[in-house]
Amino acid sequence: MGICPKCGLPLEACICKELAKTKQKIKIEKTKRRFGKIVTVILGIESDTKGIAKKLKEALACGGTVKNKVIELQGDHTKKVKEKLMQLGFSKDNIEER
């Protein structure tokens, strides 16, 4: 049984990841790329961006990528992304749509 270096609790009771989710300010915006394609861009997710991007791509049935801790999803998914992020444990107050 290990102990978390950040909070000092046993790893089974560690709450560091949940605390990190409540402190992050997330911005969701859509931009137009080459050839008129719409891309949904998610900024501000600091931890496990690849895992969250994978869950979002599966839930929204779209393609996407992670570049420099910025998630890009193909298509306009601004409303659906906000709902899915709240299901993943992020605070509604810290998610901003542009």
Q: What is the pTM of this model?
A: 0.81
pLDDT reported for residue 17:
72
In CATH, the number for domain 23-97 is 3.30.780.10
Q: What is the reported pLDDT for 71?
A: 96
Predicted local confidence at residue 24, as pLDDT: 83
Give the residue ranges of the chain where pLDDT is below 70. Answer: 1
Please tell me the predicted confidence (pLDDT) of residue 70.
95
Q: What's the pLDDT at 88? A: 87
Q: What are the DSSP calls for the chain, one per residue?
A: --B-TTT-SBGGG--HHHHHHHH--EEEEEEE-GGG-EEEEEE---S-HHHHHHHHHHHHT--EEEETTEEEEEB--HHHHHHHHHHTT--GGGEEE-
Domain segments of the chain as ranges: 23-97
